[in-house]
Amino acid sequence: MAILTSPAVDRRGTEPAAPETGRRRSLVVEWLSHPQASFYLVLVPAVLLLALGVMMVLSASSVYAFVRYDDAYYFVKRQFIFLLIGGAAAFVLALRSPKQLKIVAWGLVVASLLLEILTFTPLGYSNNGNTNWVRFGVSWFGVQPSELAKLAIVMWSADLFARKHKALSDPRHLLIPFLPVSGILIGLVVLQSDLGTGIIMGALVLAALWYVGASWKVIGSLVGGVAAVVGALVITTPYRMTRILGFFNQDLDPLGVNHQPIKAIFALASGGWWGLGLGASRQKWGGLVESHTDYMLAVIGEELGLVGTLLVLGLFLVLGYAGFRIAMRSDIRFCRYAAAGITSWFMIQALVNIAVVLRMMPVFGVPLPLLSYGGSALMANLMALGVLLACARQEPRSRAFLRRRRRKSGQALVTTAAGRA
């Protein structure tokens, strides 16, 4: 049975009002009932996470940046540039209609496929052992196509399933062409030696199928196939197998495979309740080399303590609630599937990153959305937020509210012009 086949029905105004009890409704309930509540439930936590991310990138990367580039602001300046570019893209996407977003979705699939192919040409280059970057002549600007491919899978599948919703009970229509195209995108990422990102993309494929009502037999078969492939890739690749062994044996190679996980736990433990203070991290002085990327949460825990860590988790929970709220309330299938897919992407990747930092999972090499340093990841995240905001504007009550506001604004302009005449 499909999870997102019909929108939630707003029955207010069709049922008799409850008898007056003498108590006013809480401010939270009043605010959540506002037509634009979903929009701001996405916007506010996203802005707070982005602001915290820029601040923590500066704090976590300053030592490493000064040692390597003789510029303590090297990484934060780049992050701020990518934030501006991604923010502009998010603003444009947030104002688009579902019809326009569908066109963008197909463009993203084609662009992702072409860029991933380019990683195997002289334009591609390696970073930390993964050949998943493309550089277009400028030494400081590189693109990671796999980050764009995540958004492409989410948006393209939303449009595809929205178009084929009447035929999704047939496995052929359900899986073709979605599974082959997604499989090609994921396969190219895995060939770039980026198995962690490939697993995240595979999880997005399974989530999309679940939302549109794929049977447990289909999902179970895909999970079994993916598990077999991942197992084979791990067993046949020495460095991946070493990570697995290091996860189960924490005393194995403390200066090698377990060095970063151990330092991350030290950072979290030394932070206590309130942290050592902003900029006062000790592990960033050579202990946590990836402190500004995959282990950003460890530095947050060290400098801002358990309180700061819980604040980050709380903001992600609010963002997750907002995304699924939009998916359940929308009466446009594309928006329902896109909102659910984007929210799943953020929540799954954040959960994996947090679990790795807490040593609850082996090292995956995936960043914390909206917080970790990374231009391609940040811009893809911001574009996804723009789509989510556009879907929030397409909720039935939000559309009606915006139409009334535009009508009032038009009437006010006409009145003002008449008065001046």
Q: What is residue 413's predicted lDDT score, i.e. its pLDDT?
A: 58
The larger pLDDT score, comparing residue 315 to residue 243, is at 315
Do residues 370 and 49 touch, judged by C-beta distance below 8 A? yes
The larger pLDDT score, comparing residue 56 to residue 15, is at 56
Average pLDDT, the chain: 90
pLDDT level of residue 289 (50, 70, 90 thresholds) = confident
* Rounded Cα–Cα distance for residues 331 and 6 (Å): 7
The larger pLDDT score, comparing residue 32 to residue 322, is at 322
Q: What is residue 128's predicted lDDT score, i.e. its pLDDT?
A: 73
Q: What is residue 408's predicted lDDT score, i.e. its pLDDT?
A: 80
Q: What is the mean pLDDT of residues 68-90?
A: 95
Q: What is residue 83's predicted lDDT score, i.e. its pLDDT?
A: 97
Q: What is residue 286's predicted lDDT score, i.e. its pLDDT?
A: 81
pLDDT level of residue 22 (50, 70, 90 thresholds) = very low
* Rounded Cα–Cα distance for residues 329 and 4 (Å): 10
Do residues 97 and 159 touch, judged by C-beta distance below 8 A? no
3-state secondary structure 190-219: HHCCCHHHHHHHHHHHHHHHHHCCCCHHHH
Q: What is residue 6's predicted lDDT score, i.e. its pLDDT?
A: 56
214-244 tens-digit pLDDT:
999 999 999 999 999 999 999 998 888 998 9
Three-state DSSP at 125 gives strand
Question: With 80 as the cut, is the pLDDT of residue 260 above it?
Answer: yes
Which one, of 369, 345, 365, lies nearest residue 357 by Cα?
365
Q: What is residue 402's predicted lDDT score, i.e. its pLDDT?
A: 92
353-398 tens-digit pLDDT:
999 999 999 998 899 999 999 999 999 999 999 999 999 999 999 9
In percent, how much of the chain has pLDDT > 70? 90
Q: What is residue 420's predicted lDDT score, i.e. its pLDDT?
A: 63
DSSP class of residue 142 equals E
Question: With 60 as the cut, is the pLDDT of residue 20 above it?
Answer: no
Question: With 80 as the cut, is the pLDDT of residue 271 above it?
Answer: yes
* Rounded Cα–Cα distance for residues 111 and 50 (Å): 26
Q: What is residue 353's predicted lDDT score, i.e. its pLDDT?
A: 96
383-to-238, 305, 340, 386 alpha-carbon distances in Å:
36, 30, 15, 5
Question: With 60 as the cut, is the pLDDT of residue 19 above it?
Answer: no
Q: What is residue 331's predicted lDDT score, i.e. its pLDDT?
A: 95
pTM for the predicted model, two decimal places? 0.92
